[in-house]
Amino acid sequence: MAHDNNHYSHRSGWLRAAVLGANDGIVSIASLIIGVAAASTTVNEIVLAGVAGLVAGAMSMAAGEYVSVSSQSDTEKADIALEQYHLDRDIDFELQELTDIYIKRGLQPELASQVAEELMAHDALDAHLRDELGLHERTNAKPIQAAFTSAGMFTVGASIPLAATIIAPAGQIIPTVAASSLLALAALGAEAAYLGRANIVTGTARVIFWGALAMGFTALTGIFFGIVA
């Protein structure tokens, strides 16, 4: 039997941005459309609200991801510069620090010292970034990638309830949008869980629950303001 040696943590960066973007696109635009429709607005106004929400949401997701991940990247760069400074100032202390890390992980002191010496001789900075700070090339922050992934997936997700609004009969917009959006959320939750090798039932259930909750609250809000107006 073949041994599956593939690991999935390297997917966490882009997978998080993609799932967050698509989920937010489906939930926010579906909720917006349902809320507006519940207030007894015309079909054209509902579609306009959906399109405006899609554009605003995609730009907001891109900006938010870029700023957030850029802040993470700035912190990583500062840590790298600080670690290089320490290596330049006191290499012996840094060697002992790395040795102590390996001892705490279970190596005998002699072996830990040998491993630390050899790794630092090969690439001292990389050894400390990886084993002291937990920084790795696969997990480094990538602001541009996160921004485009999040905005693109938001647009993909938002297009589902928007398309449902356009094709639905005038009196069936709310149930059509709700049903199509919940199905899309279920598929998204299952796919995200599969790619991350998580529990598919749990991943699917939680996105359906929060999506339905958001749509329900916005529907009640639309009904309330429709009555007041």
33 and 94 fall within a common domain: no
Range 159-183 average pLDDT:
93
Q: pLDDT tens across 69-107, in order?
A: 888 888 888 888 888 898 889 888 988 988 999 999 888
By residue range, what is the domain housing residue 64?
Answer: 11-75+149-224
Asked if residue 6 belongs to a domain, the reply is no
pTM > 0.85? no
117 and 161 fall within a common domain: no
87 and 67 fall within a common domain: no
Last residue of a domain, one of 99, 120, 139: 139
71 and 40 fall within a common domain: yes
Name the percent of the chain lying above pLDDT 70: 88
Asked if residue 5 belongs to a domain, the reply is no
Identity of the residue numbered 191:
E
Asked if residue 155 belongs to a domain, the reply is yes
Q: Closest Cα partner for 69 from 128, 148, 155? A: 148
Range 45-56 average pLDDT:
93
3 state DSSP class of 109? helix
- Distance of alpha carbon 116 from alpha carbon 119, whole angstroms: 5
134 and 154 fall within a common domain: no
Number of structural domains (the chain) is 2
DSSP 16-42: HHHHHHHHHHHHHHHHHHHHHHHTT--
With bands split at pLDDT 50, 70 and 90, how would you rate the model's confidence at 1? very low
Last residue of a domain, one of 92, 110, 139: 139
Q: What is the pLDDT of residue 40?
A: 74
Q: Is the pLDDT of residue 9 over 60?
A: no
Tokens 């939750």 sit on residue: 189
User: Could you count the other beta carbons within 10 Å of the beta carbon of residue 70?
Assistant: 16
Range 25-36 average pLDDT:
93
Q: What is the pLDDT of residue 7?
A: 43
187 and 206 fall within a common domain: yes
Q: What is the pLDDT of residue 224?
A: 83
Q: What is the pLDDT of residue 133?
A: 80
- Distance of alpha carbon 206 from alpha carbon 45, whole angstroms: 31
- CB hemisphere CA count around 44 (13 angstroms): 0
Range 195-202 average pLDDT:
83
Tokens 């917006």 sit on residue: 32
96 and 208 fall within a common domain: no
Q: Is the pLDDT of residue 8 over 50?
A: no
User: Could you count the other beta carbons within 10 Å of the beta carbon of residue 77?
Assistant: 12
18 and 43 fall within a common domain: yes
Q: What is the pLDDT of residue 11?
A: 47
- Distance of alpha carbon 172 from alpha carbon 93, whole angstroms: 70
Cβ neighbours of residue 216 under 8 Å, at least 6 residues apart? none
160 and 216 fall within a common domain: yes
183 and 127 fall within a common domain: no
Q: Cα dihedral angle (78, 83, 89, 93), rounded to 10 degrees?
A: 150
Q: What is the pLDDT of residue 131?
A: 83
Mean pLDDT of the chain: 84
Q: What is the pLDDT of residue 130?
A: 84
Last residue of a domain, one of 115, 139, 163: 139
pLDDT higher for 20 or 92? 92
Range 52-74 average pLDDT:
89
Q: Is the pLDDT of residue 17 over 50?
A: yes
123 and 163 fall within a common domain: no
Specify the DSSP class assigned to residue 223.
H
With bands split at pLDDT 50, 70 and 90, how would you rate the model's confidence at 193? confident
Phi, psi dihedrals of residue 57, rounded to the nearest 5°: -65, -40
Q: What is the pLDDT of residue 188?
A: 87
- Distance of alpha carbon 160 from alpha carbon 9, whole angstroms: 29
Asked if residue 51 belongs to a domain, the reply is yes
